[in-house]
Structure 1
Amino acid sequence: MLEQVLQHLEVLVSHDTRNPPRAITTGGIFEYIRTQLPDFRVEVVDHGAGAVSLLAVRGAPRRIFNVHLDTVPSSPAWTGDPLKLRVTADRAIGLGACDIKGAAAALIAAAQVTQGDAAFLFSSDEEANDPRCIAGFLAREHGFSEAIIAEPTQGQAVLAHRGISAVRMAFTGQAGHASAENALSLSAVHNAMRWGTDALAYVKAQNHLRFGGLTGLRFNIGRVEGGIKANMIAPSAEVRFGFRPLPSQDMDALHAQFRGMANADALAEYEETFRGPSLPSGDVARAEERRLAARDLADGLDLPIGNAVDFWTEASLFSEAGLTALVYGPGDIAQAHTADEWVSLEQLQGYA
């Protein structure tokens, strides 16, 4: 079946689904998939801004496979055309081949040589932290109880991963000459830096926490902007940071902790710009119950179970909605988003 998988993958890679700019329509890659699944009931929905989903159902399945078709932008470091699939003795190279068009190609190929019940949800907005497609699907009466979300997991079932939250903080100060005695307290940049120091110390103190093979709290200050010049007290500053909690950690409590570290007189805004729940979702007891249900699903399908992972996936959205969810796909996350991205032929064959 590998030959058929590669034929589909060549076409899927050739369709430009880079996100951004997410110039994706209901035609193109979605029209190709529609034509390859003639015995499925197919519904294509345009959610706006290049977010498109295709739901294909055959029979009356209770389990759905989800694959996102959008990719990250390609970098100048590619040694060939990123939209032209190259196949060597052991790998397929192309933009999205690993993350995660390889899984889409394998599912299409498998569907064409089988006749049983099956359901696929293809989406195009995963890479922008803007899950319109999944939100739209979960808001409807869909009738599914299990979901397998394709991401590069080296052909192992992943039952747990971190949540994710992104935040923008705005600090305000009082402009003035830097020689002023109170410059240390009036500067917006100084207050932002003090907050950063306290936040880093707090995160380091969480290293003892454990959940399903994951340890500690992942945290990153991604951007700091502010001030005018060295001899002026900074009147404003902005900090962009993100954190990835364990499934057992309370997201709102962490936000309260980080917000409380800032000087209240200097903090003008604290805005969460994106949130994705952990997998499995829920409080500690509920999360463990859902993890065990996902393990039973993996065992029932004879899937090898891998370790929990630090990266976030949309499987958590399905879990939050009450479905038993796990992550399973060909490819290694270390190859995702890289120049000359590739997936091994062995894993493509195994996934199909």
Structure 2
Amino acid sequence: MPVDALTLAERLIRFPSVSSQSNADIADFAAELLRGLGCRIERTEYENPPGTVKVNVVGKLGEGTGGLAYFGHLDVVPAESWTGPGGDPFGPVVENGRLYGRGACDMKGSVAAFLAAVAGFDAPLKAPVYIALTADEEVNMRGAEHLAAHSAMFREMVAQETAAIIGEPTRLRVVYAHKGGAGFEVVAHGRAAHSSTDHGINANWAMVPFLVELKRLYERTRTDPKWLNDEFDPPHISLNVTLCDHNPAINITPEKSVCRAMFRPMPGQNPNELLDEVRALAERMGLSFEPLPSASPVYIDPADPFVREALAITQTDRPLTVSYGTDGARLTALKRMLVLGPGDIAQAHTADEWIELEQLEAGVRVYREFIRRFCT
């Protein structure tokens, strides 16, 4: 069954699969396409917190053990401020050697490239090819978390030590590690009143001493070797703080002040140490503390034979690290896993998202060579 990567990428972009919506339609489309390629299909469903149906699809082509697994996600971030050609983020446009559209880079282009590689592969398979397409990567990787917990095919990959590729955009460079994620929410409570009176309690003033101490902790994470790793750029955990008091008017004393923060732990670091320190600080100051959902770092030894083989396939001389996260954070039961896909992360989530056609075509060639080396 012939599949053209560009045509398929355009078709996938036309599905407005923003994470807040159900992805059932694009997942069912992908499942039918996988069936057409000869795959056995596993479809799992769950509901997100608002009750929206989400779908993961896994296809398996061929028999035997080991083989190669590809992981991609079908959801995309919103595109309300789209500035790309055509004016419609879900109306793909090809212009000046680029495919524009929401998800073109992150990561429907990659999914299309891998499916085209499978479709154009005509040698007999001695080991299976798995294609796992998830929901909700853009919102705490819920789809991959559900897949890891409920997919029989995923358990099969783990048991057989299948080599796995997370197809996020890396310009087809081999990525052996990425940072994780952790965070917290600290809340100060006050009492709303007209600011001309003394009847109110301004929650922001209660938050200020906490922020002073949090700033000291932030500075420590930039110098303490415990929180540094020179394999990454930047080499620190990138503690990022946001503040909001939800106050409707400047003449009302804020009754609530919220500090939310995220940091990106690297392999070998224990984020709970930092969370425990912040929790103790908040409680000492009479503030409430809640941890936010976390995500594991991804790491494979850069000297691992799988990494060496990937470097040979991509004709590159050294593997890289990245500071963003992927579905791999929920798939760490897979011990041979790296990140590699067409496109540049700099174009992901932008108001005119695009992928170079050359990268799309190169992705097909590279993925096809992975299939040849690991499945024949």
Q: TM-score scaled to structure 2, two decimals?
A: 0.79
Aligned-partner Cα distance in 1 for 2:18–2:202: 41
SS in 2 for 1:261: helix
Aligned-partner Cα distance in 1 for 2:103–2:176: 23
Aligned-partner Cα distance in 2 for 1:93–1:122: 21
Q: Is the 8 A contact 1:156 1:303 kept in 2?
A: no
Aligned-partner Cα distance in 1 for 2:114–2:287: 50
User: Residues 263 and 93 from structure 1, CA distance in 2 versus in 1: closer, same or farther, beyond 3 angstroms?
Assistant: same
Q: Percent identity?
A: 26
User: Residues 64 and 237 from structure 1, CA distance in 2 versus in 1: closer, same or farther, beyond 3 angstroms?
Assistant: same
Select the residue among 137, 159, 177 that pairs with 1:160: 177
Select the residue among 236, 249, 267 that pairs with 1:216: 236
1:254 and 2:251 are equivalent in the alignment: no
Aligned-partner Cα distance in 1 for 2:91–2:249: 48
Aligned-partner Cα distance in 2 for 1:309–1:107: 22
> Which residue in 1 is equivalent to 2:321?
308
Moved more, 330-339 or 309-318: 309-318
Select the residue among 59, 62, 80 that pairs with 2:62: 59
Query: How far apart are residue 265 of structure 1 and its match?
Result: 4.3
> Which residue in 1 is equivalent to 2:290?
271
> Which residue in 1 is equivalent to 2:44?
45
Aligned-partner Cα distance in 2 for 1:343–1:258: 41
Q: Is the 8 A contact 1:52 1:125 kept in 2?
A: no
Aligned-partner Cα distance in 2 for 1:11–1:175: 52
Select the residue among 172, 182, 188 that pairs with 2:189: 172
User: Residues 31 and 77 from structure 1, CA distance in 2 versus in 1: closer, same or farther, beyond 3 angstroms?
Assistant: closer
User: Residues 167 and 339 from structure 1, CA distance in 2 versus in 1: closer, same or farther, beyond 3 angstroms?
Assistant: same
Select the residue among 209, 214, 217 that pairs with 1:194: 209
> Which residue in 1 is equivalent to 2:18?
18
- 1:274-322 Cα distance to aligned partner (Å, 9 max, x none): 1111112xxxxxxxx6554363453464463443111111112222x24
User: Residues 113 and 89 from structure 1, CA distance in 2 versus in 1: closer, same or farther, beyond 3 angstroms?
Assistant: same
Q: Partner letter of residue 318 of structure 1?
A: L
Q: Is the 8 A contact 2:75 2:137 kept in 1?
A: yes
Question: What number of residue pairs does the alignment pair up?
Answer: 335
User: Residues 89 and 251 from structure 1, CA distance in 2 versus in 1: closer, same or farther, beyond 3 angstroms?
Assistant: same
Gaps of 5+ in 1: 281-288
> Which residue in 1 is equivalent to 2:359?
347
Q: Is the 8 A contact 1:211 1:246 kept in 2?
A: no
- 1:91-142 Cα distance to aligned partner (Å, 9 max, x none): 1111100000001111111111114331100112111114234433355442
RMSD: 2.9
> Which residue in 1 is equivalent to 2:91?
84
Gaps of 5+ in 2: 365-376
SS in 2 for 1:154: coil
Query: How far apart are residue 159 of structure 1 and its match?
Result: 1.1
SS in 2 for 1:23: coil
SS in 1 for 2:345: coil
